[in-house]
């Protein structure tokens, strides 16, 4: 019956709930059902097979609307959890030393699992949490290189931010900013 009505009214077929749920139709739906049942009982011209059919349709359509509303509530709750998680992660990134942070620590901070955190970061920034952290550290490095004193070593500045492999750093930095760390560093002194 549900499949037929979904097809007839061009509605998507709902997925079955993961656990049993109570369906409570609205007062308007119950009133309409009572009227249809009375007409069917009394044998009015609208009654009989048509009345029973109308009762079935009313019940199924009300169930579909309730099911869709429940799905919307679940989606809204998921969005709230995701927004809270991303907000907590970004706040922590502002306060903490970036070298301390890792995707697993961000999961703890956000109170979500690794897959949820991956999904949230990809949805919001188009990057995984690890790639976002790396991009953030690269941006901090760029700022540090432009503010560095002439006697400060690029390697020391990079090491403080968690970059241990200078070759990989140069590749990532060039990809992100279109120049090497040394080019950024020495532009200031020209």
Mean pLDDT of 163-171: 90
Please work out, in degrees rounded to the nearest 5, the angle formed at the alpha carbon of residue 15 by the alpha carbons of 30 and 7.
Answer: 70
Least confident of 4-8, 97-101, 154-158: 4-8
Residue 70 lies in domain = 2-76
| Rounded Cα gap, residues 145 and 64, in angstroms | 59
SS (H, E, C) 81-138: HHHHHHHHHHHHHHHCCHHHCCHHHHHHHHCCCHHHHHHHHHHHHCCCHHHHHHHHHH
* pLDDT at residue 2, rounded to an integer: 62
User: Does the residue 121 lie in any domain?
Assistant: no
Give how many domains the chain has, as a whole number: 2
Q: What is the mean pLDDT of the chain?
A: 80
Question: Where is pLDDT greater, at 169 or 151?
Answer: 169
Asked whether residue 47 carries a pLDDT value surpassing 90, the answer given is no
- Whether 100 is covered by a domain: the verdict is no
Q: What is the pLDDT of residue 138?
A: 93
Q: Which long-range contacts (CB under 8 A, 24 or more apart) does 119-123 make?
A: 119/82, 120/82, 120/85, 120/86, 121/86, 123/82
pLDDT for 50 beyond 70: no
Half-sphere exposure of 113 (CA within 13 A, CB side): 3
Max avg pLDDT among 1-15, 42-56, 160-174: 160-174
Q: What is the Cα 57 distance to its own chain's centre? A: 35
CATH code assigned at 156: 1.10.10
Q: What is the pLDDT of residues 136-153, one digit of tens each?
A: 999 999 999 888 887 888
Percent share of the chain, pLDDT over 90:
26
Is position 125 within any domain?
no
Q: Per-residue pLDDT tens for 94-120?
A: 887 778 888 999 999 999 999 999 999
Res 23 pLDDT > 60: yes
Please say which residue of 46, 61, 76 terminates a domain. 76
Residue 6's pLDDT is what?
Answer: 66
Domain boundary among 76, 92, 114: 76
190 pLDDT tier (thresholds 50, 70, 90): low
Give the pLDDT of residue 107.
Answer: 92
The tokens describing 40, both together, are: 């069917």
């Amino acid at each position: 019956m549900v499949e037929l009505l979904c097809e007839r009214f061009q509605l998507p077929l709902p997925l079955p709930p993961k656990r049993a749920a109570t369906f409570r139709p609205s007062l308007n739906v119950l009133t309409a059902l009572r009227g249809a049942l009375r007409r069917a009982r009394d044998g009015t011209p609208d009654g009989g097979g048509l009345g029973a059919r109308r009762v079935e349709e009313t019940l199924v359509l009300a169930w579909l609307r309730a099911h869709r509303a429940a799905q919307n509530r679940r989606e809204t709750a998921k969005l709230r959890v995701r927004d809270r998680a991303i907000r907590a992660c970004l706040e922590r990134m502002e306060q903490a030393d970036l070298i301390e942070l890792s995707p697993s620590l961000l999961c703890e901070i956000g109170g979500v699992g690794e897959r949820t955190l991956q999904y949230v970061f990809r949805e919001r920034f188009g990057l995984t949490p690890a790639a976002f952290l790396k991009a953030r550290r690269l941006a901090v490095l760029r700022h540090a290189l432009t503010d560095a004193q002439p006697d400060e070593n690029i390697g020391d500045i990079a090491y403080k931010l968690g970059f241990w492999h200078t070759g990989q750093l140069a590749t990532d930095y060039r990809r992100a900013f279109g120049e090497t760390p040394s080019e950024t560093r020495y532009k200031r002194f020209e």
